[in-house]
């Protein structure tokens, strides 16, 4: 059960309800305006749904029951190693006095190696999109782009116009989307190579390790990137997982598994 649903259960009769005006028909056929209290969150039980829908349109989605995951010794060591890396990044931030609370590592469960790591740079760079998750996705995108372009035929590379090549920057965070190139035949060949590269989507099947639960925007970015699993340590009341359950929304075309991890001393 998520934090929001627990709140809805415990506090359904208190501040989680808000007054609304509703027309009621009197016995003589006249209408009067009355105030009723309605739920401000979705119901988490069938009984709540049956009671609340009489006054207000609500949707009831039963929680799916997942089997407890079983990690082998090698996979457990891989997960712990990356979580420890996130913790060390947090501790290093406190030592340096920056006190950044959000650090993310993207790793490959197949290669058992970290592919990207970043801190939250939104405040430092004064850029609303440079959360740690978004920065890591940008780093992975830059790495994959360089890898595919390096494998292109030399004759295709020679046809790239200098003006187009000059727009590409070495800093993967200068733009959170890949640099656009002109629609020439040579560039089209490069784009075909990018779209047909192994791995399909950008972060398909990769694991994300975070010191803090990602926000709604970052969770949607993880959905679009097709990650496999998310491991986070510190939950957030308004987080994309605990509150919105973005990782398992049936309306979305991709789902991933999310784990809240506990630090042991």
Asked whether the beta carbons of 81 and 105 are under 8 A apart, the reply is no
**Residue 75: per-residue pLDDT:** 93
Both structure tokens of 175: 């733009």
Residue 96 — very low, low, confident or very high, per pLDDT cuts 50/70/90? Answer: low
Q: Please say if the pLDDT value at position 81 is more than 80.
A: yes
**Residue 187: per-residue pLDDT:** 38
Residue, of 82 and 93, whose pLDDT is higher: 82
Q: Please say if the pLDDT value at position 17 is more than 70.
A: no
Compute the Cα dihedral for 229, 86, 83, 246 and give only its sign.
negative
**Residue 45: per-residue pLDDT:** 85
Compute the Cα dihedral for 69, 3, 235, 130 and give only its sign.
positive
The pTM of this model reads 0.65
Residues 6+ apart with CB under 8 A from 83: 209, 231, 233, 261
pLDDT in tens, 104-137: 999 999 999 999 999 999 888 899 999 999 999 9
pLDDT in tens, 158-208: 555 544 443 444 555 555 544 443 434 333 443 443 333 455 678 999 999
Residue, of 15 and 95, whose pLDDT is higher: 95
């Amino acid at each position: 059960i998520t934090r929001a649903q627990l709140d809805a259960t415990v506090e359904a009769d208190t501040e989680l309800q808000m007054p609304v005006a509703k027309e009621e028909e009197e016995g003589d056929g006249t209408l009067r305006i009355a105030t009723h209290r309605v739920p401000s969150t979705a119901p988490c039980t069938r009984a709540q749904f049956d009671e609340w829908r009489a006054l207000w349109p609500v949707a009831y989605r039963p929680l799916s029951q997942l089997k407890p995951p079983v990690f082998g010794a090698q996979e457990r060591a891989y997960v712990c190693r990356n979580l420890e890396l996130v913790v060390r990044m947090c501790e290093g931030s406190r030592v340096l006095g920056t006190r950044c609370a959000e650090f993310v590592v993207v790793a490959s469960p197949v290669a058992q190696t970290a592919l990207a790591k970043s801190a939250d740079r939104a405040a430092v760079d004064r850029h609303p999109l440079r959360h740690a998750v978004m920065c890591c996705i940008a780093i992975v995108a830059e790495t994959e782009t360089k890898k595919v372009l390096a494998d292109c035929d030399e004759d295709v590379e020679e046809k790239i116009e200098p003006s187009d090549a000059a727009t590409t920057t070495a800093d993967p965070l200068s733009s959170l989307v890949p640099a656009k190139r002109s629609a020439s035949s040579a560039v089209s060949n490069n784009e075909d190579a990018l779209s047909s590269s192994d791995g399909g989507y950008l972060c398909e099947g990769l694991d994300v390790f975070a010191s803090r639960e990602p926000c709604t925007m970052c969770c949607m970015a993880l959905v679009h990137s097709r990650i496999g699993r998310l491991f986070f340590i510190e939950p957030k009341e308004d987080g994309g997982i605990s509150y919105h359950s973005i990782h398992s929304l049936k309306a979305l075309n991709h789902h991933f598994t999310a784990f809240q991890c506990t630090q042991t001393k």
